[in-house]
């Protein structure tokens, strides 16, 4: 970026220099023209005037040509940078889409759930579940990583209902605290229903509390069923 700014500054300096030369040459032409009128009665008076006019015209045309070439080159360099940027953005988008697809396809096998999901970080698991839900046909909104009020994903229109989802990539059982946080998130986001999806299981107390708070619990077994069903759908879809 610094190099590009420097090159633009250099062209500005060249333009200013060219303008100075142009002004000097015009002044010389005017002076010579006036002198030519005064000396028009002398036999050799037109010779220096003609020489000055020819030299001045040569320099003016050369300056104009160089400025035009510099402008055309700058415009072409700008277009080339735009083309390169567009190509890079398109390539990055294709790579992200391919990576998303590869991650989902790799996770569609139930025997990989316990092994691979457990190695994901919290944000990675959230992105995976958002992709998985979109693959199942849901419209999904992702909440900020901080200040999410206990909600990681939102289904804004699931059969006319607004659903908030809390994700728990845990190995131990999920207890009452997660149910309470999801219930509070339902109120905060004005949702009709709340889900908790976990890679483990729920305590007996958590299941009892969920029944009275409209919170749906999805444990590792149901998550595995989702993956298996999606895998069967993918295998049954013709290429």
Q: How high is the pLDDT of residue 226? A: 79
Q: Where does residue 89 rank: exposed (0-12), middle (13-18), buried (19+ CB within 10 A)?
A: exposed
pLDDT lower than 50: segments of the chain: 1-9, 238-239
Q: How many domains does the chain have?
A: 2
| 140 & 232 share domain | yes
| 92 & 165 share domain | no
| 232 & 142 share domain | yes
Asked whether residue 118 is assigned to any structural domain, the reply reads no
115-124 LR contacts (CB < 8 Å, sep 24+) = 117/169, 117/199, 118/169, 118/171, 118/199, 120/169, 122/167, 122/169
pLDDT tens-digit series, residues 25-48: 666 666 566 555 555 555 555 556
| 222 & 168 share domain | yes
Asked whether residue 74 is assigned to any structural domain, the reply reads yes
Domain span at residue 190? 123-236
* Structure-block tokens of residue 106: 């790799």
Asked whether residue 144 is assigned to any structural domain, the reply reads yes
| 23 & 95 share domain | yes
Q: What is the DSSP letter of 71?
A: H
| 131 & 64 share domain | no
* Structure-block tokens of residue 207: 């299941």
Q: CA 154 to CA 72: how far, in whole Å?
A: 51
Asked whether residue 206 is assigned to any structural domain, the reply reads yes
| 155 & 62 share domain | no
| 10 & 89 share domain | yes
CATH number at residue 206: 3.40.1350.10
Q: What is the pTM of this model?
A: 0.53
Asked whether residue 29 is assigned to any structural domain, the reply reads yes
Residue that is last in its domain, among 104, 131, 147: 104
Asked whether residue 93 is assigned to any structural domain, the reply reads yes
Asked whether residue 193 is assigned to any structural domain, the reply reads yes
| 147 & 42 share domain | no
Asked whether residue 70 is assigned to any structural domain, the reply reads yes
Q: What are phi and psi of 205, to 5 degrees?
A: -65, -40
- 16-53 burial, b if ≥16 CB within 10 A, otherwise e? eebeeebeebeeebeebeeebeeeeeeeeeeeebeebb
| 20 & 100 share domain | yes
pLDDT tens-digit series, residues 61-105: 777 778 878 888 888 888 888 888 888 888 887 777 777 666 666
């Amino acid at each position: 970026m610094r190099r590009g700014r420097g090159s633009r500054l250099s062209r500005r300096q060249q333009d200013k220099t060219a303008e100075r030369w142009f002004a000097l040459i015009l002044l010389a032409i005017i002076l010579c023209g006036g002198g030519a009128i005064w000396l028009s009665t002398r036999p050799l008076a037109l010779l220096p005037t003609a020489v000055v006019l020819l030299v001045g015209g040569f320099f003016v045309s050369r300056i104009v040509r160089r400025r035009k070439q510099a402008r055309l080159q700058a415009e072409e360099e700008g277009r080339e940078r735009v083309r390169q940027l567009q190509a890079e953005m398109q390539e990055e988008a294709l790579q992200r889409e391919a990576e998303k697809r590869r991650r989902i396809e790799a996770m569609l096998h139930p025997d990989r759930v316990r092994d691979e999901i457990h190695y994901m970080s919290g944000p990675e698991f959230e992105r995976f579940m958002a992709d998985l839900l979109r693959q199942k046909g849901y419209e999904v909104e992702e909440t900020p990583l901080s200040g999410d009020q206990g909600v990681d994903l939102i289904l804004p229109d699931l059969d006319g209902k607004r659903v908030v989802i809390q994700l728990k990539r845990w190995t131990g059982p999920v207890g009452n605290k997660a149910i309470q946080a999801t219930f509070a998130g339902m109120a905060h986001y004005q949702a009709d229903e709340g889900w908790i999806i976990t890679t483990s299981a729920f305590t007996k107390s958590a299941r009892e509390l969920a029944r009275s708070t409209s919170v749906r619990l999805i444990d590792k077994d149901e998550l595995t069923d989702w993956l298996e069903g999606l895998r069967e759908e993918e295998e049954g879809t013709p290429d």
